[in-house]
Structure 1
Amino acid sequence: MGKSAVRGTRTTIMDFITRWGILLTIVIMVLGFSITMPTFMSISNMTAILRSVCIVTIVAIGMTFALTVNGIDLSVGSAATLSNTVCMTFLVWFSFGTTVPGTIFAIVLTILIVQMVALANTLLIVKLKIPDMLATLATMFMFEGVAMTYAGGGAINERMVRPDGSSAVGRVPVFLRTMGKEPWIIIIMLVLVLLAFLFLTYTKHGRYMYAVGANAEAARLSGINVHRYRALAYILSAILASVGGILIGARVGNAQINSGSSYLMGAVAAAHIGISVAGVGRPHAFGTLAGAFLIGVLENGLIMASVPYYTVNIFKGLVLAIALALNYIRKK
């Protein structure tokens, strides 16, 4: 075999790895955990994995929108925390959940209020030209503080004593709690992933966002309003983060301090891992779902294998590093 043939074979293998390495890794992990732990592939455990990745996937889809315009949104965790807090106060403090329409109104109003995060990000990034990472780092701290201050520095629970000394009489409605359970939370996640994929792939607005991310100056010269689409990315990111925060409340029935912050790093990892899925080389919704599922399978398998919890982040960081390496090797 000549040198050119060997080189061609190596290129083909490397191309296959960079395109399908993430999905191949998921398959290998599932097979490996299944062989060592027969209960891993049980329906109940697969459902548990899907349920565990739902909220991080939804928040990560918001991160994906930011990545499409070559940005990053570190405030998604704080936006989820603010959403969780505001929604629970509407239900517990102000008794919006006594009827289904009242619950829906509380959800919609919560999403609108959380757009304060998008407004702040847009002002700092689009108007004041502050780099995305620094601007969203600032809003991350800012809105963590807003959520904590609004809640009085504590959790929001049914029958709690409010900061003014009165007792909360509202309840978290069954309608909302149902949304936080399978199969509904899984269905909500899959619907949002599909909508995000269709928007980014088949609408002109999605294509314009990709164009802005690829080359903002070229996009501007071709007539695309770059500022508008960068703002749109952060609006969509805040909407998805607020939905994630509402579902946190639906799952646990309360709002804890910084409840959304724990989803930030998972969202960052899932969105960046997703870039290398299928060799697309750009952020996309199904890639983000695959990235979140990869992390979910890894965490679940390690926990079932009785690996100490404090070492799990080592493996998660290693997987992220490998995914980023695959992406940047392909670019070269």
Structure 2
Amino acid sequence: MKTASTARGRGAGNIVEFLYRYGTLITIFILVAVFGTMTDSFLSGSNIINILRSISIVTIIATGLTVSLSVGGFDLSVGSAASLANAIVISMFVWHGQNMFVGIAVALAFCIVIGLINAFLVTSFNIQDMLMTLATMFVFQGVALTYTKGATISENMIMPNGDFATGLIPDAFSKLGQVPWIIILMLLVVIAVHVFLNYTKHGRYMYMIGGNPEAAKLSGIAVKKYRLIAYLLSALFAGIGGVILGARVMNAEVNAGAPYLMDAVAAAFIGFSVFGAGKPNAFGTFVGAVLIGILSNGLVMLSVPYYAMDIVKGSVLALALAITYYKRKHA
């Protein structure tokens, strides 16, 4: 009896292990098959490009979130950082008449300040990263709203004094939000972070800190320094996402980056299980974003109401978390 019971237990364990490693990829193939069968244009080249374009911004933001997760952190302020970067970069053009490089540099500089603030608060006070960045999320969101005065920034907008804005968004800047550049930038970010985390000593140190910060500290690793780097990179990539969002839509809407937070969190946590990584990783995050992009695109093609999308995304995230933490518990 014990032998049969043990064999069944091993068999179930093997199934769970297989699903943990390849479940996300299998799900993607199933969704592609289902949507491809139910809609004529889903598998067309133009739609595949459209899916990649649609996930580019969320992938970049989620990749930054992945870096913060690698040190055991959790940066919930990435959506607000993207909103602020989006507002600043467009305002630099429309309000102040700056060129593309100045506009992008100023926006990313503000995001680096956001990373510094998050890192200081997280490393200086014994408060969970998630709770602290939840607080700063509202602060930075408020800063973005105050800066824009709750208005959409766009060319020829009416200024508070009644005049029209005279600044123009550079044509070269708009290219960043178009195919193929938006997809190329996404892939470059994913590759760069993948190489950094997996093939440099600094990335390995970050994983050690995320796995056991006390042991890492005893090993001589500068834990606070690497947590600082993680939050700087998280805010920087959120800022890049916000800048590219501005290039894509050519304006800065109120809290434009906020909707990307949920998708970024989902993509990052789905990525934990890709190929059994068991840890935050850039490639897995990209695969998670692809899954979410396919879901969203396919549901739109099937005319599912937009207000039901979050039900599906939330369910996918819940499943990803359940698999990840079940695996950790039984590791």
TM-score by length of 2: 0.96
Aligned residue pairs total 327
- In structure 2, the residue matched to 1:203 is 200
* Residue 9 (structure 1) shift: 3.1
Whether 2:176 is the aligned partner of 1:179: answer yes
CA deviations over 1:239-263 (Å, ceiling 9, x no partner): 0000000011100101000000010
State whether structure 2 residue 83 is matched by structure 1 residue 81.
yes
Listed as ranges, the gaps of 5+ residues in structure 1 are 98-102
Indicate yes or no: 2:248 matched with 1:251.
yes
Shift of 1:164: 4.2
1:90 aligns with 2:104: no
Compute the displacement of 1:172 (Å): 0.8
Is residue 230 from structure 1 mapped to residue 240 from structure 2 by the alignment?
no
Separation in 1, partners of 2:239, 2:301: 31
Q: Is the Cα–Cα contact under 8 Å of residues 63 and 72 in structure 1 kept in the other structure?
A: yes
1:143 aligns with 2:140: yes
Give the 3 Å change call, closer, same or farther, for CA 173–165 of structure 1 in structure 2.
same
Aligned partner of 1:217: which letter?
E
Partner of 2:116: 119
2:259 aligns to what SS in structure 1? helix
* Rounded Cα–Cα distance in structure 2 between residues aligned with 1:252 and 1:8: 52
Partner-residue secondary structure (3-state), 1:228: helix
The partner residue of 2:126 within 122, 126, 129 is: 129
SS of residue paired to 1:148 = helix
Q: Which residue of 1 aligns with 2:216?
A: 219
* Runs (5+) with no aligned partner, structure 2: none
Q: Decide whether the 8 Å contact of 2:88 with 2:106 is kept in 1.
A: no
Q: CA deviation at 1:318?
A: 1.2
Shift, 1:113, TM fit? 1.6
The answer to whether the Cα contact below 8 Å between 1:152 and 1:163 also exists between their aligned partners in 2 is no
User: What amino acid sits opposite 1:85 in the alignment?
Assistant: A
Aligned mates of 2:191, 2:72 — CA distance in 1: 22
Query: What SS does the corresponding residue of 1:96 show, helix, strand or coil?
Result: coil
The one-character-per-residue Cα deviations of 1:12-70 (angstroms, maximum 9, x if unpaired) are: 22211111101110011001111111211011111111111000000000110111111
More deviation, 205-214/7-16: 7-16
- Structure 1 residue matching 2:41: 3-state secondary structure: helix
Aligned-pair CA distance for 1:104 = 1.6
Deviates more, 1:128-137 or 1:39-48: 128-137
In structure 1, the residue matched to 2:189 is: 192
Work out the percentage of aligned pairs sharing the same amino acid. 50
Q: Which residue of 2 aligns with 1:152?
A: 149
Alpha-carbon deviations, 1:136-160, whole Å to 9, x = none?
A: 1111111111111111221111011
| Range with greater deviation from structure 2 (180-189 or 167-176) | 167-176
Give the SS at the match of 1:261: coil
Which of 287, 297, 300 is the matching residue for 2:297? Answer: 300
Deviations 1:77-125 (A, max 9, x none): 000000001101111111113xxxxx12221221012222112211211
What does residue 101 of structure 2 align with? 104
Checking the alignment, whether the CA contact within 8 Å between 1:77 and 1:263 is kept in structure 2 is yes
The two structures, once aligned, show a CA RMSD in angstroms of 1.4
Contact 1:270–1:289 (8 Å) recurs in 2: yes
Q: Are the counterparts in 2 of residues 274 and 291 from structure 1 also a CA contact under 8 Å? A: yes
Contact 1:276 1:324 survives alignment (8 Å): no
Q: Could you list the per-position Cα deviations for residues 202-237 of structure 1 after superposition, in whole angstroms to 9, with x for gaps in the alignment?
A: 111111110110000000000001111111111000
2:311 pairs with one of 311, 314, 326:
314
Runs ≥4 residues deviating over 4 A: none
Q: Which among 283, 287, 291 is matched to residue 286 of structure 1? A: 283
Residues of 2 paired with 1:164 and 1:75: CA distance? 33
AA of the residue aligned to 1:43: G
Greater displacement, 233-242 / 305-314: 305-314
Residue 325 (str. 1) matches residue 322 (str. 2): yes
Asked whether 1:168 is paired with 2:165, we answer yes
Q: How far apart are the structure 1 equivalents of 2:276 and 2:78?
A: 26
Return the match for 2:53 from 44, 51, 67: 51
**CA deviation vs aligned residue, 1:157-209 (integer Å, no higher than 9, x gap):** 10112234443211111111111011110000000000000000011111111
Report the 3-state secondary structure (helix = DSSP H, G, I; strand = E; otherwise coil) of the residue aligned with 2:101.
Answer: helix
Greater Cα shift, 190-199 or 34-43? 34-43
TM score, norm. by length of structure 1: 0.95
Task: Give the superposition deviation at 1:134.
Answer: 1.4
Whether contact under 8 Å (2:56, 2:186) holds in the other structure is yes
AA at the equivalent of 1:23:
L
Find the aligned partners of 1:176 and 1:55 in 2 and give their Cα distance: 15
Q: Equivalents in 2 of 1:82, 1:69: separation in Å?
A: 25
